[in-house]
Amino acid sequence: MHDRARHDRLKKVTVNLPVRTLENAIRITGKGITPTIIEGLHALERRAKRSALRALKGRIRFALDLEETRR
């Protein structure tokens, strides 16, 4: 089940989902309906963040001394 400590506020929703899509997602995650949907929503958030970072490519100067970071 999802971690309630991370989700101090919950919102109960009713949704109509394609049965096959939901069943496939549950099979893939090995979790129940709610944790599967939460995992999917988190994946959507991560994808949006990656897209935002990719949009910054070439706009920010970044210098990193790889040898220095390994010490």
The answer to whether the beta carbons of residues 36 and 29 sit under 8 Å apart is: yes
In this prediction the pTM is 0.69
pLDDT digits (tens, 9 = 90+) for 1-25: 455 556 578 999 999 999 999 999 9
Whole-Å CA distances, 50 to 8, 11, 21, 32, 67? 25, 26, 24, 27, 26
**What is residue 43's predicted lDDT score, i.e. its pLDDT?**
97
